[in-house]
Amino acid sequence: MTTAEDAKPLQAGQPAVSRRPWAPFIAVLMLAYFGASVALFAPVENVLPRLIESAAGGQHKAVYLGLVTGLGAVAALIFNPVAGYFSDRWVTSDNRSAVVAIGLAGGTASLGLLGLQRSVIGIAICWTLCQATINIAYSSMAASVIDHVPKKDWGFAWGLLAVAQALGIILGFGAIVLVFPSVTGGMTAVTVMYAISLLPLVLLLRRLPRVQLSGAGRPVREGLKALLNGGTGYSAVWIGQFLMELANSIALLYLYYYLQDVIHYPKPGTGQLILVSVATGATIIATVSIGRLADRSSGYRRYAMLATTLLAATGFTLAVINSWDPVIACAFALGAGYGAYQSVSSALSLTVLPDRASAARDLGIINIASSIPQVIGPSVAALVITVGLGYRGLFAFAGLLALGACAAFSRVPANPQA
Helices and strands of the chain, counted as H and E runs: 15, 0
Q: What does residue 375 show for φ and ψ, rounded to 5 degrees?
A: -80, -45
Buried b (16+ CB within 10 A) or exposed e, 172-182: bbebbeeebee
- Cβ neighbours for 389, distance < 8 A, ≥ 6 positions apart: 396, 397
0.85 surpassed by pTM: no
pLDDT at site 5: 43
pLDDT digits (tens, 9 = 90+) for 296-323: 877 788 999 999 999 999 999 999 998 8
User: How far apart (Å, rounded) are the C-alpha atoms in residues 349 and 150?
Assistant: 15
Kindly list the domain boundaries of the chain, sorted by start residue.
Answer: 1-213, 218-418
Q: Do domains 1-213 and 218-418 have the same CATH topology?
A: yes
pLDDT at site 55: 84
Residue 183: how many other CB atoms lie within 10 Å: 21
pLDDT at site 223: 54
pLDDT at site 355: 73
Q: Between residues 274 and 374, which one has the greater pLDDT?
A: 274
Residue 386 pLDDT exceeds 60 = yes
pLDDT at site 388: 76
Q: pLDDT category, 156, cuts 50, 70, 90?
A: confident
CA-closest candidate to residue 193, choices 46, 29, 45, 36: 36
Map 23-86 to HEC letters: HHHHHHHHHHHHHHHHHHHHHHHHHHHHHHHHHHCCCCHHHHHHHHHHHHHHHHHHHHHHHHHH
Fold of 1-213: Growth Hormone; Chain: A; (1.20.1250)
Q: pLDDT category, 114, cuts 50, 70, 90?
A: very high
User: How far apart (Å, rounded) are the C-alpha atoms in residues 365 and 220?
Assistant: 10
Choose from 101-105, 350-354, 376-380 the range with maximum mean pLDDT.
Answer: 101-105
Which range, of 10-14, 229-233, 267-271, averages the lowest pLDDT? 10-14
35 close to 108: Cβ distance less than 8 angstroms: no
Spell out the CATH class of 218-418.
Answer: mainly alpha
